[in-house]
């Protein structure tokens, strides 16, 4: 059913009896042309674009739990393309452009809200780095504005300008950045993919990858063997574990990233703000919760939860930047597993196993990349060659040295 | 004046201490021991707010932290606290609270018009609409949604109160001081264990405060007071009242103490709240249970409350909130509430039990009140206050009963949230009709109602046993417990999850306005996982964290999808278990005190000399010195540079990292961490070194001096001091433990001042007199020495960052200020000029020295023109990876000097470089400007940049593109050394 | 999370900095392939993991900590220096 | 002749609030050195320390010694040595005494030293220190290198009054005092 105000009114009059499941809860078939492992945002988006843009039909998305149960279900909902390096900007800007038309495209209101993303700077060195970044964004077709202190003050009077340990000197603003209702993205893609014939299969855990003569031919799952001509892995957080089924060691560690939401409050923070002198960023959801976060906990983890020191660190950053939130209460705090790659940038590539493709290493950039990642991964799966917007985010870059290291931290995943 | 609902006697309030407070501008009276909710109810004020989505009138629903309705803004101005649960606010004199999410008042709210659109605004409606035209979302729809979002408002003002943190260590942490918690604390405390009892309430006792049962021959509340008194006599027991444990973390528990929230304003030095981090060997979770409400049409009217809350208001606060009270229950406990209410003097109009089989002893509890078994409440009426309920009896007959208060009870849900924070899962017990937790965090036992030990006797017994076990686990021996004798009580949960009736909304989540129909719709639309249900409907995501709604919601879902509750499962509980102020997590570290401040020894002297300071990591450094009459920084900096280049200047460089390296193998060690060779460095000499990360990129640079055969001192950049120390320790302890190397940071020990300029030697001669010979012959470029003047050890290094004849002189930090002043004094005749980091930067750029903006972690030694330093005779960290194809690519951007073709133009850092005449595109970007400065010597702006094939391009005109500052310049590529290319000056 | 520092005793993990897999051995420099594996590739196992922690705010010792990354249970900690030297 | 005035790290220590919950005094003029055992010389160093100072070199985080000279274990093979008997050039002579057995690095000016005592001291220290400082877990003689409010500190307990000595990086003395004043203000901080 197409969603619209009319359909909503019609259903209201009919007592809402006519709404059907938003996606078919499919059972696995014996064989597919393409199997996507991972029913999170990236996996569902990949399936959606394979069906919609590349005309492929016989596709399954396998999810070990319920769809959207991974990082698309627990993140801080920010979208932006304000990166430094062309390799990343091109992908994230492609993604941002897709976000801009996504809701009409998949007929689902994901509340894409381009309310602006502001990264604050507190020193001349940071200003210079943001100038370079803003220029690189412009060079790659993204929008950026370098604000001085007064420019920031015009946007956000309530920030701590006067009694700050690291006074705000200005910021880099991307007006087209913003937030999205994260769960709705998974549902919208699932619905769009399902409507186009994709089997969205929940509670189906992949337990093995069948490889014959160096070629992937199928997967073993908790619901039986499934043959596939091509297999795409989109299982951020568990990438190493699943890749190990195909005998691969990845330049990735799994880490926990915590995020926080406050009780619902009347609107106070219009956009997204990132503190440049600590680990803190914040926005406010349409329901009124302050949504904020900071750094990863910093140690390998598969536990989907973090610890107090990072909670404290994040709140210290918040109170340094905006002491007005001191009396707002943190309502919930959760942890997501993130693939931290060795250079802080994602990997979208073929593998040494023919027919096996990898989409991994998103660090904490995965949510905002969802549409772009889906599209370029669909391209890779369909055409067997990288999409032009992601043709340098390849696995062999670590061996050759063409690394994509935004922060210049080197091969130390917890520092990215 | 409204009616008083206060009983003439009874309760634990202190009628001798009246308290005045205001709510929505109206003044009321209460007593010490009241909560805001009990005091409002005593004043017959039931309606206190409006619901989130439909703006329906809502009344006080509970008597504790599970409250979904009675959210108020406490205090005003900068101290305003939105979304505060009236049921947990301890009444204080002058308390000022106001209702939320309604305008103009909870009695008359214009947004109540939302109710008319109710049928449209069901679960997830917004996902299906507001998409056309696309531009309208941000301009129109979203602002409208946002305007109605949230409940209370932040003031927007800085929080004026302070917060602090504290750590505690104990053998046993008891969470909750109800019967089980008190019994556990007594058992463990008597055995000698270090016990911390944390109780969220301001009185110990939990349910004991609401019960009239007898324990050991005294009333429950008296027993609680006696227990508290005994615990108070045990030096090994610490009682934390007003302290809610909010989370179990690895190895510690988090708790929040509301230190002064019950006072009008915190007294001097008293924090508003204190964050406790408690390391406990054992834990007894005795957090009790929450009564479950019932889901039936019209179940949200003011006057409908948890039955146990009515009992609490009556017995603890001496308040019966209504005149005619009905009870609707599916558990024995509802009957007991009826009994207690009657005992307190309330009129019980009717008791309705959905069960057909209720024991005669239980039925007796209702006294003479009419009873309906196998019946349910199928409708209600009354807009701002309940007026009637409709009862559908077992035969399907309906009748209306006039009541103003309805107590509901569907049994109890154990409060196991904290037990599941480390990954444990609640599992459904059919026997107990509740989620229980068996895989608790290490060392945790659950006791009392939190373990579904419903009766008082069971709670006391199991609590005592848990406390004794905990004591024995920490080696104190299992002691026999004196049995605690409590009056018996029956208890049984028989859940029925949803009652049919009128077409009115049956609410599951009272705060987020999620109805039973919403849950059904979500299931119909395929949201069949309980987590998906929560996300689609927002069930359980309100400030009560689903305490009153989760179990009902998932049970209704289970019914819809034809699964058992056990199969359906619960959502994962996340900390914090109670909402915690963000300020409390920050403690002292807010605003200016976010991070420690590090001051150099010359700070005060520099300030006196006119310094403007800048943050350099945690350090404050002098950025420039303002001379009389100077109004802009560039004038000051230019003067400072000119002074250094023409005579002499001094600059505090103490912030550079300094590491003492000792032992017989330091030379070998340094050879392995630096790309160049240090084992050949003679005693009394300094050498510049570059170290790489193992991935081949540059980590840091600096000089290392050999003070004696076995003693070197390394300098690092200010920002990398800690990182380099850690790296060196790793190299030594992990990679090469066989080497005789010892190291320790001496950054703090030495104050170090650069003395630079052609007259620096004269200045030092004045300062040192004949204490040390600094002639060029004895002390040439790159010499170093340690010597004493009197009792003061000094170090002298002939190094130069400015390119001038220069020294760095170091003294123990206690002498740092005096050293700075002595240098100023000694240089007076020479016109010595203090200079700051800006002038330092100008001179290093003029000299082509790389610094932070070039050492950005993305560059290799060759990029910086330092490739020739990379030894080919030895291994060193990073050598192998530095040889990778992309790291030796000749097309890599490499260090160049830059100057504007039009010399009047200013260069800007971060501008991107392109060949002249090309249209900027990602593929033709040739690099960027890393550093810029106005060069007083050249009298124009200069810069350093990283440019593809840079060294081959000296003389070429290129384009610097800077769209974020509307800049577009032509530059000439030149050698990066703008001053004294042959280095004659620094060797002078 | 508390780390049992063999020197200092039980300390909060926030006193330490982390640098990952401690089962790796720095290979001979001429073995480029082995060096690539050492610098970039990780088993990243579920469950028990041996890892380097540096007691930055304490005794400055590098530790090898055995820890379950699925439960965060810290099983053991030894001085890396002792292991490396033995 | 160059003659420089010496300024102590905690010159700005002052009393705050009413009461004497915490009593603080700056320890001035103390010689401090980091002593690090040379490779393979641990046993010989212990013997030398025993012989020359009559001090049992602690193997763990403990202090031993007299009022005049204490060896405090701060890490494997590493000690902080304090000397408050006013012997000039103590660190130089210590280096000579332990030559070949240990590397000795002067830190006399790198830290500020406070002596803290008072009835509220343990509660106040708990506001910064995540180490169990109770009498049972941290008896007199115990040493902890740890942090307070993001600042590295070395603290050791000298008696069961309790009295603690605490060493703080000199550059952070001001921030440390802010923490101390904020934490001890409720019960009063008396500067002596």
Which burial class, exposed, middle or buried, applies to B327 when counting CB atoms under 10 A from its CB (0-12, 13-18, 19+)?
A: buried
Taking CA–CA distances from D169, the nearest residue in chain B reads B748
Domain check: are D117 and D187 in the same one?
yes
User: What mean pLDDT, rounded, does chain B reach?
Assistant: 94
Domain check: are D100 and D114 in the same one?
no
**Least CB-CB distance to B879: which of C1, C29, C36?**
C29
What is the model's pLDDT at position A363? 95
Paired sense of beta strands B912-915 and B927-935, if any:
antiparallel
**Least CB-CB distance to C1: which of B250, B734, B737?**
B250
Q: Which residue has the higher pLDDT, A74 or B150?
A: A74
| Contact D78/C at CB under 8 A | yes
User: What mean pLDDT, rounded, does chain A reach?
Assistant: 96
Q: Is residue B536 very low, low, confident or very high in pLDDT (cuts 50, 70, 90)? A: very high
**Least CB-CB distance to B574: which of A67, A325, A332?**
A332
| Contact D166/C at CB under 8 A | no
ipTM of the complex: 0.97
Domain check: are D96 and D126 in the same one?
no
At B986, give phi and psi (nearest 5°).
-75, -15
Checking if the pLDDT of A207 tops 50, the result is yes
Instruction: Sort out which chain A residues have CB atoms less than 8 A from C51's CB and list them.
Output: 299-300
Domain count, chain D: 2
Instruction: Sort out which chain A residues have CB atoms less than 8 A from C70's CB and list them.
Output: 302-303
Query: What are A289-303's pLDDT values in tens digits?
Result: 999 999 999 999 999
**Least CB-CB distance to C40: which of A299, A342, A414?**
A342
Interchain pair A327, B119: CB under 8 A: no
Taking CA–CA distances from C16, the nearest residue in chain D reads D146
Instruction: Sort out which chain C residues have CB atoms less than 8 A from A300's CB and list them.
Output: 20, 44, 49, 51, 69
Judge whether D7 lies within some domain: no
- The secondary structure of D116-131 as a DSSP string is EESTTHHHHHHTT--S
**Least CB-CB distance to A315: which of B153, B529, B586?**
B586
Query: What are C30-66's pLDDT values in tens digits?
Result: 999 999 999 999 999 999 999 999 999 999 999 999 9
Domain check: are D119 and D185 in the same one?
yes
Instruction: Sort out which chain C residues have CB atoms less than 8 A from A250's CB and list them.
Output: 41-42, 44
Q: Provide the 10 A C-beta neighbour count for residue B436.
A: 17
Judge whether D44 lies within some domain: yes
**CA-CA-CA-CA torsion sign (B257, B261, B267, B273):** positive
Checking if the pLDDT of B478 tops 90, the result is no
Domain check: are D97 and D145 in the same one?
no
Checking if the pLDDT of D1 tops 70, the result is no
- Residue D118: CATH number of its domain: 3.30.1360.120
Instruction: Sort out which chain A residues have CB atoms less than 8 A from B961's CB and list them.
Output: 135, 139
At B585, give phi and psi (nearest 5°).
-70, -25
At D114, give phi and psi (nearest 5°).
-125, 145
Domain check: are D79 and D101 in the same one?
yes
Query: What are B793-826's pLDDT values in tens digits?
Result: 999 999 999 999 999 999 999 999 999 999 999 9
- Of D106, D134, D157, the one marking the end of a domain is D106
Name beta bridge partners: A329: B581
At B308, give phi and psi (nearest 5°).
-70, -30
Interchain pair B748, D40: CB under 8 A: no
- Give the residue carrying structure tokens 């929080």: B159
Checking if the pLDDT of B230 tops 70, the result is yes
What is the model's pLDDT at position B1? 45
Checking if the pLDDT of B168 tops 50, the result is yes
Query: What are B371-411's pLDDT values in tens digits?
Result: 999 999 999 999 999 999 999 999 999 999 999 999 999 99
Q: Is residue B483 very low, low, confident or very high in pLDDT (cuts 50, 70, 90)? A: confident
Structure tokens at A389: 């917007």
Domain check: are D92 and D160 in the same one?
no
Judge whether D141 lies within some domain: yes
Query: What are B151-167's pLDDT values in tens digits?
Result: 899 999 999 999 999 99
Lowest mean pLDDT among B417-431, B889-903, D113-127: B417-431
Q: Tell me the average pLDDT across A198-204.
A: 98
What is the model's pLDDT at position B500? 83
Checking if the pLDDT of B724 tops 80, the result is yes
Judge whether D46 lies within some domain: yes
Contact call for residues A204 and A28 (beta carbons, < 8 A): yes
Taking CA–CA distances from D58, the nearest residue in chain C reads C7
Interchain pair B592, A134: CB under 8 A: no
Substitution target from B248, B250, B731 for chain C, most C beta carbons within 10 A? B250
- Residue D42: CATH number of its domain: 3.30.70.1520
Judge whether D175 lies within some domain: yes
Q: Tell me the average pLDDT across B623-646.
A: 97
Instruction: Sort out which chain B residues have CB atoms less than 8 A from D88's CB and list them.
Output: 791
| Contact A249/C at CB under 8 A | yes
Interchain pair D110, B269: CB under 8 A: no
Interchain pair C8, D146: CB under 8 A: yes
Judge whether D86 lies within some domain: yes
Interchain pair A301, C69: CB under 8 A: yes
SS3 of chain D: helix, strand, coil, percent, to 5: 20, 35, 45
- Of D53, D79, D106, the one marking the end of a domain is D106
Residues of C contacting chain D (CB within 8 angstroms): 7-12, 14-15, 57-61, 79, 81
What is the model's pLDDT at position C86? 62
Domain check: are D66 and D131 in the same one?
no
Instruction: Sort out which chain C residues have CB atoms less than 8 A from B879's CB and list them.
Output: 29
Checking if the pLDDT of B868 tops 60, the result is yes
Taking CA–CA distances from A9, the nearest residue in chain B reads B120
Judge whether D166 lies within some domain: yes
Interchain pair B726, C85: CB under 8 A: no
Nearest Cα of chain C lies from the Cα of B246 at a distance, in angstroms, of 16
Structure tokens at B307: 């039955």
What is the model's pLDDT at position D84? 87
What is the model's pLDDT at position B149? 78
> What is this structure's pTM?
0.97
Instruction: Sort out which chain D residues have CB atoms less than 8 A from B600's CB and list them.
Output: 171
- The secondary structure of A331-381 as a DSSP string is EEEEEEEEEEESSSS-EEEE-SSBTEEEEE--TT-HHHHHHHHHHHHHHHH
Domain check: are D81 and D145 in the same one?
no
Q: Which domains does chain C have, with CATH numbers?
A: 2-85 (3.30.2270.10)
Q: Is residue A213 very low, low, confident or very high in pLDDT (cuts 50, 70, 90)? A: very high
Nearest Cα of chain A lies from the Cα of C17 at a distance, in angstroms, of 8
Helices A86-106 & A366-383 angle (0-180, nearest 10): 90
- Of D89, D106, D123, the one marking the end of a domain is D106
Preceding omega of D162 cis (within 30 degrees of 0):
yes
Task: Give buried/exposed letters for B10-41 (b at 16+ CB in 10 A, else e).
Answer: bbbbeeeeebebebbeeebbbbbbbbbbbbbb
Taking CA–CA distances from B732, the nearest residue in chain C reads C81
- Residue numbers of the domain that contains D131: 22-27+110-191
Judge whether D4 lies within some domain: no
Domain check: are D122 and D87 in the same one?
no
d(CA A26, CA A24): 5
Q: Is residue B109 very low, low, confident or very high in pLDDT (cuts 50, 70, 90)? A: confident
Domain check: are D77 and D40 in the same one?
yes
Domain check: are D45 and D86 in the same one?
yes
What percent of chain B has a predicted confidence (pLDDT) above 70? 99
Q: Provide the 10 A C-beta neighbour count for residue A221.
A: 21
Substitution target from C25, C42, C54, C85 for chain B, most B beta carbons within 10 A? C54
Instruction: Sort out which chain B residues have CB atoms less than 8 A from D110's CB and list them.
Output: 746-749, 813
Instruction: Sort out which chain D residues have CB atoms less than 8 A from C61's CB and list them.
Output: 75-76
What percent of chain B has a predicted confidence (pLDDT) above 90? 88
């Amino acid at each position: 059913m197409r969603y619209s105000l009319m359909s909503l009114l019609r259903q209201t009059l009919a007592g809402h009896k006519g709404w059907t499941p938003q996606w078919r809860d499919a059972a696995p078939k014996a064989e597919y042309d393409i199997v996507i492992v991972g029913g999170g945002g990236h996996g569902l988006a990949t399936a959606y674009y394979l069906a919609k843009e590349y005309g492929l039909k016989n596709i399954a998305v396998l999810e070990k739990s319920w769809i959207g149960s991974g990082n698309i279900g627990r993140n801080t909902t920010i979208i932006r393309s304000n990166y430094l390096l062309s390799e990343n900007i091109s992908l994230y800007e492609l993604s941002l452009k897709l976000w801009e038309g996504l809701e009409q495209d998949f007929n689902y209101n994901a509340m894409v809200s381009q309310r602006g993303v502001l990264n604050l700077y507190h020193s001349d060195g940071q200003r210079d780095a943001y100038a370079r970044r803003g220029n690189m964004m412009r060079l790659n077709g993204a929008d950026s504005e370098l604000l001085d202190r007064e420019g920031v003050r015009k946007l956000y009077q309530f920030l701590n300008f006067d009694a700050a340990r690291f006074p705000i000197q200005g910021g880099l603003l991307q007006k087209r950045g913003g937030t999205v209702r994260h769960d709705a993205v998974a549902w919208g893609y699932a619905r769009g993919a399902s409507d186009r014939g994709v089997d969205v299969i929940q509670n189906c855990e992949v337990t093995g990858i069948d490889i014959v003569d160096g070629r992937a031919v199928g997967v073993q799952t908790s619901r039986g063997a499934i043959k596939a001509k091509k297999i795409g892995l989109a299982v951020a957080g568990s990438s190493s574990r699943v890749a190990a089924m195909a005998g691969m060691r990845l330049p990735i560690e799994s880490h926990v990233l915590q995020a926080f939401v406050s009780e619902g409050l009347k609107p106070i923070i219009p956009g997204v703000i990132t503190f440049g002198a600590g680990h803190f960023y914040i926005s406010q959801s349409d329901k009124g919760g302050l949504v904020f976060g900071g750094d990863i906990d910093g140690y390998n983890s598969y536990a989907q939860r973090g610890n107090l020191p990072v909670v404290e660190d994040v709140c210290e950053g918040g109170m340094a930047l905006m002491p007005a939130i001191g009396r707002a209460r943190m309502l919930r705090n959760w942890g997501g597993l993130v693939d931290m790659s060795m250079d802080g940038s994602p990997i979208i590539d073929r593998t040494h196993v023919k027919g096996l493709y990898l989409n991994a290493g998103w660090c904490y950039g995965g949510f905002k990349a969802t549409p772009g990642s889906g599209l370029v991964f669909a391209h890779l799966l369909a055409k067997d060659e990288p999409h032009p917007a992601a043709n340098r985010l390849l696995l062999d870059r670590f061996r050759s040295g063409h690394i994509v290291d935004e922060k210049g931290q080197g091969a130390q995943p917890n520092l990215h | 004046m409204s009616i008083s609902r206060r009983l003439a006697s009874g309760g634990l309030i202190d009628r001798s201490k009246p308290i005045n407070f205001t709510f929505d501008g109206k003044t009321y009276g209460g007593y010490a021991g009241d909560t805001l909710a009990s005091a409002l109810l005593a004043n017959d004020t039931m309606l206190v707010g409006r619901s989130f989505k439909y703006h329906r009138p809502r009344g006080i629903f509970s008597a504790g932290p599970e409250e979904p309705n009675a959210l108020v803004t406490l205090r005003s101005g900068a101290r305003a606290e939105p979304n505060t649960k009236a049921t947990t606010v301890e009444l204080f004199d002058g308390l000022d609270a106001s209702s939320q999410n309604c305008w103009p008042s909870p009695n008359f709210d214009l947004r109540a018009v939302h109710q008319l659109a109710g049928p449209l605004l069901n679960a997830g409606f917004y996902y299906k609409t507001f998409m056309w035209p696309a531009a309208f979302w941000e301009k129109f729809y979203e602002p409208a949604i946002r305007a109605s979002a949230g409940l209370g408002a932040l003031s927007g003002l800085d929080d004026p109160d302070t917060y602090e943190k504290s750590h505690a260590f104990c053998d046993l942490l008891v969470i909750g001081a109800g019967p089980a918690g008190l019994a556990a604390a007594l058992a463990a405390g008597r055995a000698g264990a270090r016990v911390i009892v944390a109780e969220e309430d301001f009185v110990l006792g939990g349910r004991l405060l609401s019960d009239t049962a007898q324990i050991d021959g005294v009333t429950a509340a008296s027993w609680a007071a006696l227990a508290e008194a005994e615990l108070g006599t045990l030096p090994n027991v610490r009682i934390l009242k007003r302290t809610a444990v909010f989370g179990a973390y690895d190895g510690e528990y988090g708790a929040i103490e509301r230190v002064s929230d019950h006072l009008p304003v915190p007294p001097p030095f008293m924090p508003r709240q204190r964050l406790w981090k408690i390391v406990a060997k054992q834990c007894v979770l005795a957090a009790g249970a929450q009564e479950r409400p019932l889901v039936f049409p019209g179940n949200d009217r003011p006057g409908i409350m948890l039955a146990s809350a009515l009992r609490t208001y009556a017995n603890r606060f001496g308040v019966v909130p209504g005149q005619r009270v009905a009870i609707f229950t599916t558990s024995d406990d509802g009957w007991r509430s009826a009994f207690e209410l009657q005992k307190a003097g309330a009129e019980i109009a009717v008791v309705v039990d959905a069960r057909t089989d209720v024991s005669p002893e239980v039925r007796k509890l209702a006294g003479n009140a009419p009873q309906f078994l196998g019946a349910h409440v199928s409708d209600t009426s009354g807009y701002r206050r309940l007026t009637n309920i409709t009862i559908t009896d077992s035969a399907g007959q309906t009748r209306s009963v006039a009541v103003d208060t309805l107590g509901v009870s569907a049994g109890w849900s154990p409060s196991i949230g904290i037990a599941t924070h480390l990954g444990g899962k609640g599992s459904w017990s059919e026997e107990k009709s509740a989620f229980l937790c068996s895989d608790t965090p290490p060392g945790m036992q659950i006791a009392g109602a939190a373990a579904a030990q419903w009766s008082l006797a069971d709670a006391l017994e199991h609590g005592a046993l848990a406390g004794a076990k905990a004591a024995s686990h920490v080696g104190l021996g299992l002691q026999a417990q004196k049995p605690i004798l409590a009056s018996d009580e029956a208890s049984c949960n028989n859940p029925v999850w949803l009652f049919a009736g009128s077409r009115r909304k049956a609410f599951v989540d009272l705060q987020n306005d999620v109805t039973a129909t919403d849950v059904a719709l979500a299931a119909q639309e395929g949201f069949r996982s309980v987590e998906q249900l929560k996300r689609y409907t927002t069930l359980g995501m309100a400030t009560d964290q689903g305490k009153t709604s989760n179990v009902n919601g998932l049970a209704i879902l289970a019914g819809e999808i034809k699964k058992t509750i056990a199969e359906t499962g619960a959502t994962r509980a996340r900390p914090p278990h109670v909402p915690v102020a963000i300020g409390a997590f920050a403690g002292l570290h807010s605003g200016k005190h976010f991070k420690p401040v590090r001051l150099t020894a010359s700070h005060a002297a520099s300030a006196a000399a006119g310094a403007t300071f800048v943050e350099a990591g945690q350090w404050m450094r002098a950025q420039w010195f303002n001379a009389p009459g100077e109004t802009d920084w560039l004038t000051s900096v230019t003067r400072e540079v000119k002074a250094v280049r023409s005579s002499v200047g001094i600059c505090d460089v103490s912030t550079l990292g300094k590491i003492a390296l000792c032992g017989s193998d330091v030379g070998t060690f340094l050879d392995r961490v630096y790309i160049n060779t240090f084992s050949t460095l003679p005693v009394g000499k300094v050498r510049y070194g570059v170290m790489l990360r193992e991935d081949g990129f540059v980590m840091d640079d600096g000089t290392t001096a050999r003070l004696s055969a076995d003693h070197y001192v390394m300098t690092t950049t200010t920002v990398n001091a800690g990182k380099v120390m850690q790296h060196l320790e790793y190299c030594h302890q992990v990679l090469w433990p066989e080497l005789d190397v010892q190291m320790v940071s001496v950054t703090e020990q030495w104050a170090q001042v650069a003395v630079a300029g052609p007259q620096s030697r004269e200045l030092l001669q004045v300062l040192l007199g004949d204490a040390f010979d600094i002639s060029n012959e004895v002390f040439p470029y790159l010499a170093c020495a340690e010597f004493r003047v009197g009792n003061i050890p000094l170090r002298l290094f002939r190094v130069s960052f400015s390119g001038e004849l220069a020294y760095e002189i170091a003294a123990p930090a206690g002498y740092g200020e005096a050293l700075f002043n002595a240098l100023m004094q000694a240089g007076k005749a020479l016109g010595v000029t203090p200079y700051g980091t800006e002038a330092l930067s100008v001179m290093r750029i003029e000299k082509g020295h790389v610094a932070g903006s070039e050492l950005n972690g993305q560059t290799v030694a060759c990029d910086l023109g330092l490739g020739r330093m990379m030894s080919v005779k030895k291994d060193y960290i990073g050598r192998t990876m530095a040889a990778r194809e992309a790291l030796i690519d000749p097309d890599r951007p490499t260090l160049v000097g830059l100057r504007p073709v039009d010399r009047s133009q200013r260069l800007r850092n971060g501008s991107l470089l392109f060949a002249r005449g090309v249209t900027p595109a990602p593929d033709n970007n040739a690099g960027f400007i890393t550093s810029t400065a106005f060069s007083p010597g050249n009298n124009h702006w200069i810069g350093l940049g990283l440019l593809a094939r840079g060294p081959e391009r000296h003389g070429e005109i290129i384009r610097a593109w800077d769209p974020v500052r509307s800049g577009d310049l032509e530059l000439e590529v030149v050698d990066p050394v703008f001053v004294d290319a042959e280095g004659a000056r620094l060797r002078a | 999370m508390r780390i049992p520092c063999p020197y200092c005793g039980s300390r909060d993990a926030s006193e330490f900095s982390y640098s990952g897999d401690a089962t790796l051995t720095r290979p001979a420099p001429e073995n480029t392939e082995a060096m690539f594996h050492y610098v970039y590739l990780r088993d990243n196992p579920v469950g028990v993991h041996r890892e380097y922690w540096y007691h930055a705010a304490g005794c400055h010792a590098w530790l090898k900590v055995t820890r379950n990354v699925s439960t965060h249970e810290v099983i053991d900690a030894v001085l890396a220096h002792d292991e490396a030297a033995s | 002749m160059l003659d420089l005035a010496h300024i102590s790290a905690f010159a700005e220590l002052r009393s705050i609030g009413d009461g004497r919950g915490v009593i603080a005094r700056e320890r001035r003029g103390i010689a401090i050195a980091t002593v690090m055992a040379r490779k393979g010389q641990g046993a010989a160093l212990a013997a030398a320390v025993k012989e020359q100072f009559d001090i049992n070199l602690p193997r763990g985080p403990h202090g031993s010694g007299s009022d005049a000279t204490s060896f405090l274990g701060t890490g494997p093979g590493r000690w902080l040595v304090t000397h408050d008997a006013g012997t000039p050039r103590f660190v130089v002579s210590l280096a000579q005494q332990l030559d070949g057995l240990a590397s000795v690095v002067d830190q006399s000016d790198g830290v500020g030293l406070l002596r803290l005592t008072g009835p509220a001291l343990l509660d106040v220290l708990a506001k910064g220190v995540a180490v169990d400082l109770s009498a049972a877990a941290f008896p007199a003689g115990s040493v902890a290198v740890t942090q307070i409010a993001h600042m590295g500190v070395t603290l050791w307990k000298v008696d069961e009054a309790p009295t603690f000595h605490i060493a703080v990086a000199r550059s952070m003395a001001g921030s440390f005092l802010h923490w101390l004043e904020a934490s001890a203000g409720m019960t009063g901080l008396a500067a002596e």
